[in-house]
Amino acid sequence: MRASSYFIPTLKEAPAEAEVPSHIFLIRGGFIRQLAAGLYEYLPLGYRVLKKIENIVRKHMDRAGALEVLLPILTPSELWQETGRWDVYGKELFRVEDRKGRMFALGPTHEETITDLVRKNIRSYKDLPKNFYQIQTKFRDEARPRYGLIRGREFIMKDAYSFDVSEEMAVKSYNLMKETYRKIFDELGLDYLMVEADTGAIGGKYSHEFVVKVPNGEAHIVYCEKCGYAANVEAAKYEFELDKLPPEEEKPLEKVHTPGVSSVTDVAQFLGVDEKKIVKTLVYILDDGTAVAVLIRGDRELNETKLINYFNVLDAHLASSEELEKLNIVEGFVGPIGLDIPVYADISVKDLHNFVVGANEKDYHYINVNIPRDFKPVEFVDFSTAREGDPCPVCKAPLKETTGLEVGHIFLLGTKYSEAMKAYFVDRDGREKPIIMGCYGIGVSRLMAAAVEQSHDENGIIWPESIAPFKLHILALNIKDSQIKDVAEQLYQKALGMGIEVLYDDRDISPGAKFKDADLIGIPYRIVVGKKVKEGKVELQKRGAEEKEEIKITDVEGFLQKLQ
RNA sequence: CGGAGCGUAGCUCAGGCGGUAGAGCACUGGCAUGGGGGGCCAGAGGUCGGCGGUUCAAGUCCGCUCGCUCCGACCA
């Protein structure tokens, strides 16, 4: 491709709204442009990258035996009503009405549609297993689209759905996808982790996320370097035993005056005790309106996902001042003793002795509290958020913490959708049974951003070879110099003839501008044709590497062969 | 959805004290040049987000509205 007839509108300055490297460089490099919040246009260069990512995903999905389909983006509301998600999915669902008043959703994901297809066309165990996938534009009316391609309202996703006759077979399908995902992300050249995850609103039995390690990522991950355990903090466990305080003789319960002192730090300081001996009492309101108290040691953070899962609700929130008042609970001095609502305790409170809690009375705390002498929680549950340094739940080595960008998520769904939508098959024994499902997503357009987040420098993008828009960039530094032009032209034709994807910068602009653009665009290999042609030499460079290498023009062919 | 900020040339931004709009870069033509966004000359480009109000006069003041961004909540 000749740069002079191509379309790469690079920018010297980043648009004011771009904050993160992938957003800045994809816009500056002429890969994408923004149309509206969360909506992006893929320009020729950007679309080349996107297609490369798609094709790598497609190749590995096909090899795994998955069957590519294309489902309508518009999905009738009736299907969403069947699974209850028309209401549950909430405002994130883009809803549209046709001229007859029938409601549709712009598909944010396609469990309903594919399950409908399968229930209408699969009747027997002989038709299973099957795994259908598609690569398609998805729509989610995000409350807050941000960071360019990382969180858009319209984005490209690969979504796959497996259908099996038994849980055992479904696990096999799930594991096959797990391996397939590894191959995909390996080939994309990304540094990623596969982590245990929470299933969230999609539901199901268990799930794993694939997370690209980037600074300031949205996903918080803990992982163990020793045994390989890794999990999203939403789902992460840790081995609490190692962090327990030593046993103590029980002292008599005492109420102490603590005027205006209510935060853990303040109470610990005021009473001169370790934060680990202060127990926080958090009042949560579940989505059915029930209030529960949850105790957790002062140095630990509560994990709302664990709480929501334990109580098997869709949502829960910390009680507001008004809600506390209605319950007759004294804000800032809440404690388990004499509380009228059910009290649950995090495992961090188990075997804790002579600790401090609020006295349910303004400006008072109890000290030397002991279980079960002074109160008895309904149950001890793991409610706390794992963090760096906590012992690994598998091997007890200290956990590490990192942030990342979720680029893939796989779920073993079980029968959630097949039962709701009556997707049954007739088994070998002649009985009708629900199909066991799994679903598997990859954020294709987000991967483009993830690759840039992970691979760039201050001058621009450094594309992994597998997804670079072109493999080779030829710069003719002075196109008016006929010798330079002839040599560059020759090399370009030769590369084209060898089937190498090459971008030839034949524009009549200054050398500096060409170098800057080349760095910004980030094509892996570069041949610079300049003054040295007079000595029969050109320069080779690899994007991201400092060194330049001068080689004889006659030797370029050998270099090109390596790029084929 | 709560909080905050910003909308002036293609991009980055100035002008804010009311008096008919500017810079740098980009763009067009010309000249000189050619190894890291370089120089000189000339030019084109704007209903100052929109609607309404105050005023002799509004980019500037007031009200409403739309859009974009950031923090948080939320998020397969």
CA atoms of A323 and A476, how far apart (whole Å): 71
Would you say the C-beta of A361 is within 7 Å of strand B? no
Find the Å distance, CA of residue A97 to C1' of nucleotide B53.
38
Task: Return the SS3 of A290.
Answer: coil
Query: Measured CA to C1', what is the nucleotide nearest A219?
Result: B75
Which bases along strand B come within 7 Å of a protein CB atom? 1-2, 11-13, 24-26, 33-38, 67-76
Using a 7 Å CB cutoff, list residues 123-182 of A near strand B: 138, 140, 142-147, 151, 155, 157, 159
Rounded average pLDDT over A164-180: 96
Find the Å distance, CA of residue A517 to C1' of nucleotide B23.
25
Take residue A291 and report the two structure tokens written for it: 């209030």
Rounded average pLDDT over A104-126: 95
Residue A182 has pLDDT above 90, yes or no: yes
Would you say the C-beta of A275 is within 7 Å of strand B? no
Would you say the C-beta of A512 is within 7 Å of strand B? yes
The answer to whether A298 touches A264, Cβ cutoff 8 Å, is: yes
Would you say the C-beta of A519 is within 7 Å of strand B? yes
Find the Å distance, CA of residue A262 to C1' of nucleotide B4.
29
Nearest C-alpha neighbor of A334 from the set A273, A289, A372, A293: A293
Take residue A63 and report the two structure tokens written for it: 């090899």
Find the Å distance, CA of residue A61 to C1' of nucleotide B72.
38
The pLDDT tens digits for A409-463 are 999 999 989 999 999 999 999 999 999 999 999 999 999 999 999 999 999 999 9
Q: What is the mean pLDDT of chain A?
A: 91
Q: What is the pLDDT of residue A164?
A: 97
Residue with the two structure tokens 């023009």: A553
Residue A319 has pLDDT above 90, yes or no: no
Using a 7 Å CB cutoff, list residues 4-43 of A near strand B: 10-17, 19, 28, 34, 36-38
- pLDDT confidence band for A112 (50 / 70 / 90): very high
- pLDDT confidence band for A202 (50 / 70 / 90): low
- pLDDT confidence band for A547 (50 / 70 / 90): confident
- Give the least confident one: A17-31, A75-89, A194-208, A298-312: A194-208
Provide φ and ψ at A99, rounded to 5°: -65, -20
CA atoms of A357 and A322, how far apart (whole Å): 22
Stretch (H or E) spanning A176: helix A167-187
- Beta strand residue intervals within A326-462, DSSP E: 343-346, 355-358, 364-369, 380-381, 400-414, 424-426, 432-434, 436-443, 456-457, 460-461
| Cis before A336 (ω within 30) | no
CA atoms of A383 and A357, how far apart (whole Å): 18
Q: What is the pLDDT of residue A93?
A: 92
Characterise A334 by phi-psi region: left (phi > 0), alpha (psi -120 to 50), beta (else). Answer: beta
CA atoms of A324 and A496, how far apart (whole Å): 72
Q: What is the pLDDT of residue A366?
A: 92
Would you say the C-beta of A57 is within 7 Å of strand B? no
The answer to whether A561 touches A498, Cβ cutoff 8 Å, is: yes
Find the Å distance, CA of residue A496 to C1' of nucleotide B30.
36
Using a 7 Å CB cutoff, list residues 420-449 of A near strand B: 441, 443
The answer to whether A318 touches A331, Cβ cutoff 8 Å, is: no
Rounded average pLDDT over A503-517: 93
Task: Give, as one character, the DSSP assignment of residue A227.
Answer: T
Find the Å distance, CA of residue A275 to C1' of nucleotide B24.
56
The pLDDT tens digits for A203-251 are 566 789 999 998 878 888 999 999 989 998 888 888 887 778 888 889 9
- pLDDT confidence band for A312 (50 / 70 / 90): confident
Residue A514 to residues A8, A351, A469, A510: CA-CA distances in angstroms?
A: 12, 68, 17, 7
CA atoms of A344 and A276, how far apart (whole Å): 18
- Give the least confident one: A92-101, A203-212, A274-283, A493-502: A203-212
CA atoms of A156 and A413, how far apart (whole Å): 22
Greater model confidence, A329 or A163: A163
